[in-house]
Structure formats: C-alpha cells, structure tokens
Chains A and B, each alone.
Chain A
Amino acid sequence: MELTGAEITIRCLQEEGVEYVFGYPGGAVLFIYDELFKQEAVKHVLVRHEQAAVHAADGYARSTEKVGVALVTSGPGVTNAVTGIATAYMDSIPMVVISGQVSTSFIGEDAFQEVDAVGITRPCVKHNFLVKDIKDLAATLKKAFYLAKSGRPGPVLVDIPKDISSMKTAFEYPSTVNIRSYHPQVAGDANLVKQAAQMLLEAKRPMVYAGGGVILSDAAKQLAELVRLVDAPCTNTLMGLGGYPASDKQFVGMLGMHGTYEANMGMQNCDVLLAVGARFDDRVIGNVAHFNSVPRRIVHIDIDPASISKRVKVDVPLVGDVGNVLTDLIKVLKSSKQKPDAAAHKDWWKQIDEWRGANSLSYKNSSEIIKPQFVIETLHKITRGDAYITSDVGQHQMWAAQYYKFDKPRRWINSGGLGTMGFGLPAAMGVQLAHPGETVACVTGEGSIQMNIQELSTCKQFNLPIKVIALNNRYLGMVRQWQEFFHGNRYSQSYMDALPDFVKLAEAYGHVGILVEKPSDVEGALQEAFARKDELVFLDFRTDSTENVYPMVPGGKGLSEVILAEDL
C-alpha cells in the first residue's frame, strides 16, 4: 500500500516509539499535522514559540535516554527553532527536528516562508537532510534517529518540502541503518586501557574529572565504582552534575569558573588526571597555559576523538563510550595485583580536606533579606534532593548547581555550552511530560524567565504542575557581577526595570503565584508550593540584588587564581 509523505513521517515516529512531539503548525507542515490529527500514538504538545518546542524536546531527552522530537514549519518556524537547536548541539543532546520546507519546485525562488534550513542550521547540527525524493523519506528519518542518539549525540534536522509530504510511495521502515561514512568507536583500545589503569594505580595524587559524557552514556554506576577503586577525589563539570553522587565523601563539588576551591586546587595539583566524558572547556580549566604550567599525566575518555587533545594535550587518549571504557578499566584494575599507594593517598586526602576547610561555598545568611543560596538550600531540603531541576542562565543557575546537591544523573537540566536564557521553563515542560507525577522545578531569574514566559500558557493547556522558582534580584545578575568586578561598577543595561507583577502574571495564565519577600517565609512558601501537586506555582522570591556568585575564577585566569567570598 502506498502512503503519503505525511503518513510516512508519522509512521516513522511511531516506529521509533516517539511519545511526544513538541511543535507549532504552519503552511509547510499542514499535511503532517493532518496526519497527527488522525492518530493517537504520537502525542503533540503545542508550544507558544518554536524555540520552546526545541527546548522542551531537549528537556525531554536530557531527563530520559530518549531522542527528543520537535516539529516546526518552514521559514520563521525554523529560524525560531535555531536557538534551541544550537543549545542542544553545544550540550550533545540527541534530538530530531522535523521542519517543513516550501515545495521542491519553489525552492530557490524566494518563495513565501522559504529559508535555507539546511544552510542556516548546518553549523549547529550533528547532521541535516533535505528530503528531495519521497522514496528517501523513511530511510532519512531512520538515519536521523540513529545519528542523533549514536556516537556523540546531537540534534539532526530533517527538512521536508510540502509536496513531498503529500506525494505517495510504498512505505517500509528500514530495520537497520548503514552509513558507510559513520562508525563511531564505542570500545576503548585494550592496550590503552591497560596503560591508563597502570597510570592510575601509580598515582600519588589522582583526580577524576567527569562531565556530561557520563550522563549521556548512563554510566554513573561505573563511574562510582571506578572512583572507589582508584581512591581519588571526583569533581563534576556543570554538565556532569549528578553523574557522581554529591553526597559521597569522595566528591569535591563542581570545578571551573564557579567551582569549589577543593575541586579546582585538586585539578591543578593532581599528578594523574582521569577526564571522563568532559571536554576541557574554557569555563572549566580557565587559562590553558596556567593549567599546563604544572606537570600532570592525563587520561581522557571521550567518544569524540575531536574532543581529545583539543585544548589540552593528553597522555592516554581513550576513544570510546564512557560506560564501555569504564567497565574495561574496572576489570583491569580489579585483576591487577597492584593496589593504590595508600601512604601517598593519605597525604593527598589530607591536602584535599585542608582545601575543603576553606569552605568556599559558605555564605552569610540574613534574617532581613532573602539570600538566593538559602532559597536553593531550602528547595533541596523540601524536595529531599529528589526533584528534577531545570535552570535558566545566570547567577541563579550557578547557585542551583552549587547548592542543590544532585545525587542522581539526569536530574539537573541546564544549558551549559550555549548558555541560553529562556531554556528553563520549556525544558521543564519536556521533563514533566517525560516524568508525570515527579517533582519538577525550574530555577530561573526575572530576566531569563521573560525570554519564554509565554510557555506558562502551554503549561496550563497540558496541566504541567511545574514549580517556577524565580530568584528575582531585579538585575541581569550575572552581567551585573561582571560589571562590578571588571567594569568599574558601571551597570550598563543590566538593571531590570518595569518588571511585571509575576504573581498576577501567573494568575492571568491560570496558575498560582506567590510573592516571597522575607527569609522567614521561604520555607513555608516552598512547602505550600510543593504541596500543590497538581498546579503550576510561580514563586517570586525577592532576593538580595547585590549578591555575587563565589568562588570565581575570572576569565583568562588559572584555576588557583580564584576569588573567594571572604577575599572581598
């Protein structure tokens, strides 16, 4: 039997087991929307802006092991989606974006709502396709899902011209994919694994630095076992939080620009560094020359060879999937007669504990004014550390990362690589849909939330009881902090004037809003909000507008050249 392109598209989604498509209709995708209407297996979530569709698909993917799916129309639909696609690309999130395109005969004629979607998205997708022949449609969608989730994951765009969606052909969903130019290496080289194990066993001051790759590979268990075997302190990047339990005694917190003193000093002073699914980002190791100024040997596990020795030269490159390589490494370590150097490690741990003693995350609480750190700590307490937390971008993001101690992977959902304000709320929608009945909170700022606030409407339509935790400091706080430190307190355009009444705004969308102005009301307000299990509650916390994020390694400085709260 022959099916139309639109029918084939939906059938492919069904074959892939897609539960939700996040999207927004328009002329070029009308046939596809018509098919969506005729079936129930694939549910469609109507957002209020295409950027939000992509972020929601992204949040869905980050909080599960599945591929997120978004559907947008041609022209402005695609351009609105680009920020979302770039966000997913930077953080290696598996996603398929289907975009409508003008009919093949119109392509290149500046047709109504025509943009070169493949061209515009090329630098921010893992791969993209323009389907020019109906016979290629099913195989292309199959490839798209395969590419999105295999190897180093990433977003894949499939651009479908309108005429293709109405043409007919025989449908057969391929059961396998073979792309002759694409063979990600998933198993680590056995000899290099042995070398790495030896290096780790000989280490006097070992350190494990684990990133987003651990989450993407679902390898938290293996990581925990390895860290125990090599008796090393473990730090997580912003993207890796939850990949190692924050409450474990070998955890030294997040590293990098806003990392803990002990994590950054450990990075700088270790003699063997094991990097696991982390990419030596500039926000993580600071100044490269400073980082390289001390000798240390580095083992790096990453599925993408291009991540290895990109910014920092490594000694043992282990290309492969984190889960596989760690399993192999654990096997070798366990079968080795050699044990970690207990005496040397004792001194190392003593040193680590001394750095821990700096208490770099301590802050002065106040009974007058709400401290943002206190809100996050209370949030952690009320949700028993078990919520899914999404975040926007800014100071509030850093405080959430520092003070909400994540013990499990896929609970911390934020835009690290692109740093996209407006990510938090739509991402929370995807998370909540993936985990109905679970607690989902979006930590945000009064600046960021306004970049996708229209999604409060989507939340109403789909009954998403997200808790919006707005740390309202009346400033683009992260910008203000940099202006305070590096631009002579000239707060150029970082002041948020004419803010809406968020309580009324939440109410206007049909939700509950709570204004919290006193520290003594913080816990009660959070309790009330989370007790409202079936409602979205918008909590507007008026926080200290002068608070800064500490510790801070200024841009271009080395990891040990840190500004601590007490320095000021």
Chain B
Amino acid sequence: MRHIISLLMANEAGALSRVSGLFSARGYNIESLTVAPTEDATLSRMTIVTSGSDEVIEQINKQLNKLVDVVSVMDLSDGDHIERELMLVKVRAEGADREELKRMSDIFRGNVIDVSDKTYTIELTGAGSKLDSFLQAIDRRLILETVRTGASGIGRGERILKI
C-alpha cells in the first residue's frame, strides 16, 4: 500500500544521504522524496512517498526513527492528512492551442507563469493524481517539459509534527 511519511531531522550535512541510503540499502521503494528547512533553521522536514506491506512500512518507520539525525517520524497515511505537489509544465502554445491550453489551465486552477510567442509555462498544485489528470487532459504532443516536486504532506487539524 502507498504511504506518505513525514519526518523532521537535524539540518546536518549528509542527513539526506542517510535517509536515501537507508531506502536503497534495505530495498524499500521510494516514489518521491522532498526536503527543505523548516521555520526552525536547524531542522529539515522531509516527505517520503513509499509503498510496501504493513510489515515493511512498520520497519521503514522504525528504521527512520533509528537514524540519529531523525528527530521524529509520522506516517501521515495513518490519519487525515493533506497532500500537495507542485508541477511546472512547459507547453507549445501556438494558434488555437493557445486558447485551449489557457482554458484547461483555468479548469485545473493552474496559473500561466511564463509566456513567450510559442510557449506557456503553467504552474499547478494539488494531489499527484490531479497533476496526472491534467497531463492526460491536454494534448500530449504539446508538452515540452514537466517538472514535479513530489508530494509534501501535512496532517489535518490537530495532527501536528513538531518537537
């Protein structure tokens, strides 16, 4: 099953490689991994999307907790949570396509953030599945490049990951 795991870790050099190394060494799946410092500059927050049996997920949580740099771990999938991913898509936008692409972007609540004679760059956020749908909804041949951040996640309401 797919799980989205959030963790706080010391913002130390090499901390990221400890997490990614753990996943490769133990053969765990890693669908996406995002990381950036938090409001407390000594801490980074990471969101990992992974999948596996209940036993594997339990081990992943324990092994992550065991890393000395990791302060705390929360399996967001254990409860209500919100997931968002950012995608930038550059599309060929000429002639009739220009209008159509703008319309699709609006439907998906995207923003056109860069415009040239022949291209648009569209910014979209949402759950990964929404971003997938957008890519399916537009004409594939028009896609010049896409870049996605991978999911970031946070618990709903009082589900808080903090130290």
B59 touches A310 (CB 8 A): yes
A181 vs B65: C-alpha distance when bound (angstroms): 9
Chain B 83-103 near chain A by CB (<8 Å), digits 1 or 0 = 000000000000000000000
Chain B 109-148 near chain A by CB (<8 Å), digits 1 or 0 = 0000000000000000000000000000000000000000
Residue of B nearest to A307 (CB): B62
Q: A118-B14, A119-B17, A122-B17 given as contacts; is B59 within 8 A of A181 (CB)? A: no
Give the Cβ gap from B2 to chain A, nearest Cβ, in Å: 21
Q: A123-B25, A130-B13 given as contacts; is B65 within 8 A of A305 (CB)? A: yes
Contacts of B10 in A (CB 8 A): 180-181
For residues 37 through 82 of chain B, which have their beta carbon under 8 Å from a beta carbon of chain A? 55, 58-59, 62-63, 65-66, 68-72
Q: A130-B13, A306-B59, A309-B55 given as contacts; is B66 within 8 A of A122 (CB)? A: no
Contacts of B58 in A (CB 8 A): 309
Give the Cβ gap from B54 to chain A, nearest Cβ, in Å: 10
Asked if B5 lies at the interface with its beta carbon under 8 angstroms from chain A, I say no
Of A122, A147, A180, A304, which contacts B163 at CB under 8 A? A180
Q: A118-B14, A180-B163 given as contacts; is B66 within 8 A of A306 (CB)? A: yes
Residue of B nearest to A123 (CB): B25
For residues 304 through 356 of chain A, which have their beta carbon under 8 Å from a beta carbon of chain B? 304-306, 309-310, 313
B68 touches A147 (CB 8 A): yes
Contacts of B70 in A (CB 8 A): 181
Asked if A221 lies at the interface with its beta carbon under 8 angstroms from chain B, I say no
A132 vs B13: C-alpha distance when bound (angstroms): 10
Binding site for A on B (CB under 8 A): 9-10, 13-14, 17-18, 21, 25, 55, 58-59, 62-63, 65-66, 68-72, 163
Contacts of A313 in B (CB 8 A): 55
Contacts of A296 in B (CB 8 A): none
Residue of A nearest to B70 (CB): A181
Contacts of A147 in B (CB 8 A): 68
A122 vs B71: C-alpha distance when bound (angstroms): 18
For residues 74 through 121 of chain A, which have their beta carbon under 8 Å from a beta carbon of chain B? 118-119
Contacts of A132 in B (CB 8 A): 13
Of B13, B25, B69, which contacts A181 at CB under 8 A? B69
Give the Cβ gap from B14 to chain A, nearest Cβ, in Å: 6
A313 vs B72: C-alpha distance when bound (angstroms): 24
Q: A122-B17, A123-B21, A130-B13 given as contacts; is B62 within 8 A of A181 (CB)? A: no
A123 vs B10: C-alpha distance when bound (angstroms): 18
